[in-house]
Structure formats: structure tokens, C-alpha cells
């Protein structure tokens, strides 16, 4: 059982995540997921077809080789092309140069691209992404006094995150509003019928993207990382990078993220 079907029955299952921080760790589970995708959901015959796969920057070579090996030998694809996610994100915007901030579930990458070439020596990896925001939200709600199980309720809290969380443009203002008023409070009904009220947690949970120390990660935040990456590029390349900053991945979709990122970049 995979995907949404597994998530729906999560209370009766032990869930396994084949990828960790953007890298495949459990190949048997990954192949089970591909079987499910190709044969049950897409219902295609893979033999002789061609497939485009994406990978994160700095994907270990043995990881890429294993992935291609599985595609050729297990599924008998006739051709396999592996592309960097960030380059495709730029192409989707009609660009060939820029910086892609690609933040998914397990990892965030900052990838400078110049004339369709990834500047690998400048690519940066931040080990804070969507799953960390979810864990942070669970911790904040537990601190508030709600009875949640970090494992069984993970998917429920992820849904709360996606529906209610946002990135604060002015952290001080939002903190005052949450302390002195109820304008930021939203209600959410849990699967068991309980209703919880989410206030300051709405903006405190994603704040770990800008302040990784909140989730015990000793790295610069996303804005500082982005600024340092561009500044490390050659002078004649920097303007092209600053002109096109593209956000991609599910964890880039928080309301307020683009404006907060722009604000912090201007302050650095």
C-alpha cells in the first residue's frame, strides 16, 4: 500500500519513507513505490519506453547509478534521462540563468544556474524542509497541551501545516498580535472529531526555514544561505542570479515566503 491509500490507513500501518533528505535510503521500498506508480496508478507497460527522472543537486553518484540500473533492468525502459530539478524549474519559467530555491519535504537546495549550467561549486544544501516544519508544528502543539502522537498524527499535522501555516513578514508584529488578540487563531477539526485552535504556531512552525537552530540544525537560514551563494559567484554572473530567483518545491508554497525572503535579502 502506497501514497494516499497508505496515509488514509496510517493508524493501522507502520509507514516507511524510502527517501531521507532527498536521497533514496530504502531501495526495496522505493521499488515498491515505483511498481505502484507505473503498474497500478499509470497502468503502463514500461518496456521500451523512455523516462525522464529528476534528482536533487549533489545526489551521490552511486544513488544515480542505482536508479538508472533499476529503470533499465527491472522495468526495461528503452531510455533514461536524469535531470537536475532546479534546471527544470528554471526552464519552466522560460529562463536559463538564475537561482533556484528548491525546498521539498526532506531537504532544501539553493542552486545557481548560469546559461543552463548548474554551478555545482556554489550549490548549497540546507537540511531543513517540509518534514522539519511538520515536526516543529507537532512540538509547538504539544507544548500548547494538545495530546498528539508524533508518529500516528504526523500526517494530520502535515495537513494542518499545509492549510494554516504561513511565513511571517514581520515576526515582532505577529508575535504581538498572537499575544494580545485572537485575530490569528484558526480552528481545525481532527479526524477523531476534536477541534484544536492554532494561533502563533501558524507562523512559528515555518520560521525554522529562516532560523534552523529552532529545530537543532546549525546552518544559516534560507535567506542568508541564498545571499551567501550569490555573493560567492563571479561578479559578472551575480546580476543574472539576482534578477531571477525561482522558488520551487512544496515547501516554497507558504503564503508570505517570497516577500519575507525578498525583505531579508535587501537587509543583508
Question: Could you give all domains of the chain from N- to C-terminal order, each with its CATH number?
Answer: 130-209 (3.90.640.10)
Note the helical H segments in the chain. Answer: 3-8, 27-35, 61-73, 85-92, 130-144, 154-164, 171-180, 201-204, 222-231, 235-243, 257-267
Does residue 3 surpass a pLDDT of 90?
no
Does residue 58 surpass a pLDDT of 80?
yes
Specify whether the CB–CB gap between 167 and 209 falls below 8 A: yes
CA 198 to chain centre: 22
Query: Which pLDDT does position 151 carry in this prediction?
Result: 80
- Rounded percentage of the chain residues whose pLDDT exceeds 90: 82
Tens-digit pLDDT profile for residues 117-163: 999 999 999 999 999 999 999 999 999 999 988 887 888 999 999 99
pLDDT band for 251, please (50, 70, 90 cuts). very high
**What b-and-e string marks burial along 141-178, b requiring 16 or more CB atoms within 10 Å of the CB?**
beeeebebeeeebbbbbbebbeebbbbbeeeeebeebb
Does residue 21 surpass a pLDDT of 80?
no
Q: What is the mean pLDDT of the chain?
A: 94
Amino acid at each position: 500500500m502506497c501514497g494516499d491509500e497508505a496515509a488514509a490507513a496510517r493508524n493501522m500501518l507502520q509507514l516507511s519513507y524510502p527517501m531521507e533528505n532527498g536521497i533514496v535510503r530504502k531501495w526495496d521500498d522505493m521499488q515498491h513505490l515505483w511498481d505502484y506508480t507505473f503498474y497500478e496508478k499509470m497502468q503502463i507497460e514500461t518496456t521500451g519506453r523512455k523516462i525522464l527522472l529528476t534528482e536533487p543537486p549533489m545526489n551521490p553518484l552511486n544513488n544515480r547509478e542505482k536508479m538508472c540500473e533499476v529503470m533499465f533492468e527491472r522495468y526495461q525502459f528503452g531510455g533514461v534521462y536524469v535531470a537536475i530539478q532546479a534546471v527544470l524549474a528554471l526552464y519552466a519559467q522560460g529562463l536559463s540563468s538564475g537561482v533556484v530555491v528548491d525546498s521539498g519535504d526532506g531537504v532544501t537546495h539553493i542552486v545557481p544556474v548560469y546559461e543552463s549550467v548548474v554551478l555545482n561549486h556554489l550549490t548549497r544544501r540546507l537540511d531543513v524542509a517540509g518534514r522539519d516544519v511538520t515536526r516543529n508544528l507537532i512540538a509547538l502543539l504539544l507544548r500548547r497541551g494538545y495530546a498528539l502522537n508524533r508518529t500516528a498524527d504526523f500526517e494530520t499535522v502535515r495537513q494542518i501545516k499545509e492549510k494554516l501555516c504561513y511565513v511571517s513578514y514581520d515576526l515582532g508584529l505577529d508575535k504581538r498580535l498572537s499575544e494580545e488578540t485572537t485575530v490569528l487563531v484558526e480552528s481545525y477539526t481532527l479526524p477523531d472529531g476534536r477541534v484544536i485552535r492554532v494561533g502563533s504556531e501558524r507562523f512559528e512552525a515555518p520560521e525554522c526555514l529562516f532560523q534552523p537552530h529552532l529545530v537543532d540544525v546549525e546552518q544559516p537560514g534560507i535567506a542568508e544561505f541564498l545571499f551567501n551563494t550569490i555573493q560567492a559567484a563571479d561578479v559578472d554572473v551575480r546580476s543574472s542570479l539576482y534578477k531571477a530567483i525561482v522558488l520551487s518545491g512544496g515547501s516554497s508554497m507558504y503564503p508570505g515566503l517570497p516577500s519575507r525572503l525578498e525583505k531579508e535579502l535587501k537587509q543583508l
